[in-house]
Amino acid sequence: MMDAFICGDDRSLNFVNRLEKVLRDSFRNEPIYEELAGALATYSPGGGQFLINEEELARELRYALDQFLGQP
């Protein structure tokens, strides 16, 4: 699911909200969720003050996949 965001297939706020729910339900007490929770909560298409944009979240997701799931 994270790959869809990284590749640009869907970078909508609705998609990120669903992604956050899946991660929270599946990995609530795992380091990957702890790593991504803040980034997911502060995502907004286009970014803004105190918010992260599409490219910043894509970087965070790539890092998490690499570090926690062993995927490049």
**pTM score, two decimals?**
0.88
**Neighbouring-strand partners of residue 51:** 48
Instruction: Kindly indicate the confidence band of residue 70, based on its pLDDT and cuts at 50, 70 and 90.
Output: confident
Q: What is the mean pLDDT of the chain?
A: 92
Residues 6+ apart with CB under 8 A from 27: 33
pLDDT at 34: 87
**Model confidence pLDDT, tens digit, residues 22-34:** 999 999 888 889 8
Instruction: Kindly indicate the confidence band of residue 72, based on its pLDDT and cuts at 50, 70 and 90.
Output: low
| Alpha carbon distance 14, 34 (integer Å) | 21
Encoded tokens for 33: 């969720």
| Alpha carbon distance 29, 25 (integer Å) | 10
What are the C-alpha distances in Å from 8 to residues 22, 34, 43? 19, 23, 15
Q: Decide which of 71 and 51 is more confident.
A: 51
